[in-house]
Amino acid sequence: MAKAAPAILTIAGSDSSGGAGIQADLKTFAALGCYGASAITALTAQNTIGVQAVHGIPPDFVSQQITSVLSDIDVRGLKTGMLFDSGIIHAVASTLKEHFSNNGVIPLVCDPVSVSTSGHTLLHPDAIDTMMDEMFPLACLITPNKSEAELLLRRRGFPSAINTVQDMVTAAQNLSALGSNAVLLKGGHISIPREELRGVVSPDIEVNRDFIFDQNIEILQAHNSENATNELVVDVLFIKSEGKAILYPRPRLVSSNTHGTGCTLSAALACVLGRNATLAEATAQATSYTHLGIETASPIGQGFGPLNHLHSITKSLIAPRRKGDPFPLTYSLIRNTSAKWSKYVQHEFVIQLGKGTLERSSFLHFIKQDYHYLKYYARAHALLAAKSDNFAPILAATRIVLHIAKESSMHTSYCAQWGITKEELELTPESSTTTAYGAFLLDTGLQGDTMRLIMVLAACLLGYGEVGLWLKREAQKPNSWVVWEGNPYLKWMEDYSGEDFQNAVKVGLETIESRAAADPPSASRYAEWLAAWERCTDLEKSFWDMAMNLS
């Protein structure tokens, strides 16, 4: 017998346009694998432009709806949304207390909805105190946004202005004194620079960095014309029993598809808590679900459209390409191999080269072996042309082979500046590291999957592009450890950070991203791509090691 999906109850208003209220809640419940039940507190006439009318449901009928559900169904989690007035709030609180006084405690997420995005009042002003006095003590979590939090704090005499991350932490802590076990202060209405987050340091504040991975991705930031990664939104969770705050920062999204965001988040929280997750785990999962709902939404209506509640139903290993995130595959590859990628692109060879202190003998050994590597690199692209089945990729691969041939001539001239003749280049034996790397390229090209070959070729191209941009950015910092002017290896740094090479990086990024978007990988195929990418980063690191060790 299949295990039953957890039942979750939403007690909230109805949205005739379907983007918020119980409609958003029920979609969220289903998308997250839960059974949804509902008790309607108010009917609204609304659309993406605004709320045109609200009709409250009689409190005793709201109570009857809740009782009907709870007396029959094993509800594992609840959420409340729009409660409209004091009578309904009192009815909801009384009914929940009556039922759960003898039936244990289950997660209740209270979203203190008071004003719509368009400015329409959704909670009578005299009901705010009733909500704080009767609902908050029952809740394991309340989820106000900035405006709601300021309203609640003013009502109880706390400082209310919220403009910074520290303001949010203080506000969440003060809000927890109103009765609930925890507070999730939503940060969607506040943008903060990344630097402000770096300045938040306290033993009582933890930062969840799962969604702001930004290490060694200079190439992605440089080639994203819509890049807005410096602006973050931060949700703040304060857990009263633990006396600590957890920050959940994410890149700010520029989107008009935000109708029902608060409803969706609280519904997702109820689902995850209903599966016995901790508050911290539930917040991470629910904010991720909501964020992706905004990212993947298509425009609906003439105003603020709804989220895409169904994004989690269609499983995809790689996020879809979006205006603000054109390189999801590359981001995934780098993040999933972050430790090895870092050892590759920030290798000691690179650091000493940037400082200008790299031993001349190591650099000479490197450029000699790089000459041999270029032959393998060209042959691998020739294999790519041979394996392609239409003229566009054949032409692209052939152009790269011709470019490498031209580059080899330039490489020979560059080596001559270091006293290495063409004859010496040809007579220098391949190191075992060079042979191993070259054999891997050719073997990958012969094994069948064109995309696997593209992966390993891209790891080389993108890695050197990353190194070039990283050194250039570091050199621009005050009192930088990178020596630019007067560095004996300046031309090497200029070449890999320069326009010509970075244009090649841009083409490489577009190639792998467009191919992945046109033919999304299965789990096993993605694993093959990732393994090929990871192996290439290992071999690139070994190539730097070889140069340092003169092996």
Distance from C-alpha of 432 to C-alpha of 358, rounded to nearest angstrom: 22
| DSSP conformational letter for 153 | H
Tell me the C-alpha to C-alpha distance, in Å, between residue 68 and each of 65, 98, 378: 5, 13, 72
Known catalytic residue at 258: yes
Cα 549-550-551 angle, rounded to 5 deg: 85
Range 473-505 burial, b when 16+ CB lie within 10 A, else e = eebeeeeeebbbeebebeebbeebbeeebbebb
String of DSSP letters for 233-245: EEEEEEETTTTEE
Instruction: Enumerate helices (H) and strands (E) in the chain, giving the number of each.
Output: 21, 11
CA 263 – CA 24 distance, rounded (Å): 7
User: What are the φ and ψ backbone dihedral angles of 150, each rounded to 5 degrees?
Assistant: -65, -40
Which residues lie closer than 8 Å to 430 by C-beta, 6 or more apart? 369, 372, 438
Q: In this structure, what token pair is assigned to residue 219?
A: 């190439």
H helix intervals, 418-431: 422-427
Contact in structure between 287 and 250 (CB atoms under 8 Å): yes
Decide the pairing of beta strands 35-46 and 51-56: antiparallel
Q: Which of 27, 79, 146, 186 is catalytic?
A: 186
Residue of 340, 253, 328, 318 lying closest to 521 (CA atoms)? 318
CA angle 446, 451, 452 (to 5 degrees): 55
The continuous run of DSSP H or E covering 248 comes out as: strand 244-251
Residue 50 is a catalytic residue:
no
Residues 6+ apart with CB under 8 A from 444: 380, 452, 453, 456, 532
Catalytic residue among 140, 263, 460, 536: 263
Q: How many CB atoms lie within 10 A of CB 184?
A: 29
What are the distances in angstroms from CA 362 to CA 41, 285, 352, 357? Answer: 74, 48, 11, 11
CA distance 80 to 263: 9
**Euclidean distance between CA atoms 133 and 97, whole angstroms:** 13
Q: What is the longest distance spanned by two Cα atoms in the chain? A: 95
Helix intervals (H) in 41-164 = 59-70, 86-100, 128-130, 146-155
Catalytic residue among 130, 258, 330, 537: 258
Q: Which two tokens stand for residue 99?
A: 């039922």
φ/ψ region of 42 (left if φ > 0, alpha if ψ in -120 to 50, else beta) reads beta
Contact 54, 84 (CB under 8 A): yes
User: What secondary structure letter does DSSP report for 131?
Assistant: I
260 is catalytic: yes
Report, as residue numbers or ranges, the catalytic residues: 186, 258, 260-263
